[in-house]
Homo-oligomer: A and B are copies of this chain.
Amino acid sequence: MCETCGCGDTTKVSVEMHEHLLADNDRAAAHNREHFEAAGVTAINVMGSPGSGKTALLEATAARLRERRRLVAISGDLETDRDARRLERAGIQSVSITTGSACHLDARMVHRALHETPWKQADYLFIENVGNLVCPAIYDLGEAARVVVLSITEGEDKPLKYPIIFRRADAVVVTKCDLLAALPEYELASLDAAIARVMPRPAVIHVSARTGAGLDAWLDWLESLRTTASATPHAPARAAR
């Protein structure tokens, strides 16, 4: 009984249904992962808030990497194919998934999108998730690695307030570092400390897609995924939950 007004206050959350959907997703993700590994494709789940700089990071990545690596992208948004078109212009063969009202990509959406892409020819398949720092965290897509893109303009405390996505990330790319000069009160060390508090094995790369600063470290990290891929295959994300 509610103390404020005397009404009945009974909440029923459908935990069972949620578990069912996640288990179904995990099966589809395992299926995607088998395909990616068999084809030698390094799939990367790129997550982050709207406007954190996911597309700009991939554009800058393409400019540096497209001569020596084959790049394909799948890009998710509620509406528009703007990101996929931006990536196409940057030299990444891309397809968009428009989710309507869905707040994340799931493994089946990715699987269907593969039909429209030459993914088997890719060295790297970038899966740019819907802009959201919460929901994408719990959906395994079959990726080899998970990257959280976080812009400095979002503030230093986001890893503490949205820990789940950071806890399960393989790397955090801190973007828009060129704006540090315009944000005199911003403390990059505080951000790094916050990431270290929630991420089991912190891997943080500071970049500016605009100036190119930090991109070498990001590209080195990407390449390390391919050199170590056959030796230490990435554990399914579900195991880390």
Contacts and interface: CB of A to CB of B under 8 A. Distances in A.
Interface of A: 2-5, 7, 9, 11-12, 14, 17, 21, 24, 31, 35, 49-51, 77-80, 82-83, 101, 103, 108, 111-112, 114-115, 130-135, 138, 151, 153-155, 157-158, 160-164, 176, 179, 181-183
Contact of A111 (B9, B12, B24, B111): B9
A76 to B, nearest CB: 10
Given A50-B162, A103-B103, 17 more contacts: A2-B111, A3-B115, A4-B35, A4-B115, A12-B24, A14-B21, A49-B131, A50-B154, A50-B155, A51-B158, A78-B163, A79-B160, A101-B164, A103-B135, A132-B134, A153-B153, A181-B182
What is the count of identical protomers in the complex? 2
A103 B78 contact: no
B80 A160 contact: yes
Contacts of A160: 79-80, 82
A176 B183 CA distance: 11
B80 A157 contact: yes
A157 B78 CA distance: 12
